[in-house]
Amino acid sequence: MRPGAFLVNTARGGLVDDETLALALKQGRIRAAALDVHENEPYNVFQGALKDAPNLICTPHAAFFSDASATELREMAATEIRRAIVGNIPDVLRNCVNKEYFLRTPAVAAAAAAAAVYSEGLNGGYYATSGLQQAHSTTHDAPHSAAGSALIVPPPPSVVNPSPVPTVPSVHIPPQVGLQHGLVSSKSVGIDTYVLLLLLFVLLLLIYVVVVVVSVSIV
């Protein structure tokens, strides 16, 4: 690189020699440097040849962070889950880490089971129809496609019959004695009330007489 150049590395850490870069920064042959990837990650900026290098910025493999990339990662995860559900395991998945487990089941039986449950055009095509898209990584090799696929079809849910509603026994309340035959009427109730009031009046009158007699005797 010509003297006074700026070095930016967002590809692979092994492309830049740390000791040579540190010497070039100290001598001024490299004006400044920005490193997002390193040979060993996570990278400790307080150790190694670059710890005393001037005009250096190191970021933790985060140069791709943005609102668009965060949305893309979420969509990619949802797409991978859908492709796994429809039986495209593991040959068309980008980041399948346990392909050996899925390859234990015969691919033909798994593909037939997937075709019986899900249609091939469900929510769009597969990688197989649009070309295999490899994941982009600056520190790891691209995943290798493997032949065969498998699908573990979950058993159909069992039908749960609703519990019978318990029946509440009917309670028979017998009619009050007298009401059934019409022996008690509103007229009889009114007479009883009149008699009760008369007795109460007589009682109050007797109390008044007793009080008067006692008062006279005292005087």
**Residues designated catalytic:** 12, 41, 61
Which strand ranges, in their side-by-side order, compose the sheet holding 56-58?
A: 5-9, 30-35, 56-58
Find the length of the chain: 219
Of 38, 42, 27, 31, nearest to 7 by C-alpha is 31
d(CA 202, CA 90): 105
Which tokens belong to 35?
Answer: 């490193």
Q: Looking at the DSSP assignment, which residues form a beta bridge with residue 57?
A: 34
Residues of the chain by 3-state class (helix, strand, coil), percent to 5: 40, 5, 55
Q: From CA 135, how far away is CA 125, in angstroms rounded? A: 18
Tell how strand 30-35 and strand 56-58 pair up: parallel
Q: What is the largest CA-CA distance in the chain?
A: 139
16, 38 contact by CB (below 8 A): no
Structure tokens at 38: 């390193």
132: which DSSP letter?
P
* Of the candidates 1, 48, 9, the residue with the CA atom closest to the CA atom of residue 28: 1
